[in-house]
Amino acid sequence: MSQELTLLETDLQQLPQVITAWKKLREEMSGLKEQMRERKVRMKALGEVIMRTMKKNSIGALDLKQSGARLRFNSKESKGSLSQKSLQEYLAEHLKSQEAATKAMDFISEKRGKKTMETLSFEKL
């Protein structure tokens, strides 16, 4: 019992240092995220120029001799996102009844799994 109490006291004594280290890492991560965002924007713009040029000139692939790699232009279609509103509209159209669509939506909503995420957040006062 006294050993557990000593461990708790040690944890409480170390808590300020742990919080300070956590805050410092959080600030570093924030700066790195900003740099990543800037680079992603730049990369997207450059990628669009490359794709536009390749598409305009009907170039399917470019061999990059310096890096020993290949740059390929791929195009694929994918399905759009499925929101609650659009799902209900599609179900109503398919089932020919708004009431049946609402019941189906309620059923799907009840059966969906739930996920719990626990995080720390920092609020400046």
Domain count, the chain: 2
Q: How far apart are CA 120 and CA 18, in angstroms?
A: 13
pTM across the whole model = 0.53
Q: Tell me, yes or no, whether 8 lies in a domain.
A: yes
Residue 45 in domain: yes
pLDDT per residue as tens digits for the range 39-85:
999 999 998 898 888 888 988 888 888 877 888 888 787 777 778 88
Say if 88 falls within a structural domain: yes
User: What's the CA gap between 88 and 92, in Å, rounded?
Assistant: 6
Q: What band does 1 get if pLDDT is binned at 50, 70 and 90? A: low
Q: How far apart are CA 39 and CA 92, in angstroms?
A: 44
**Which residue range forms the structural domain that includes residue 37?**
2-58
Residues 105, 83: contact at Cβ < 8 Å? no
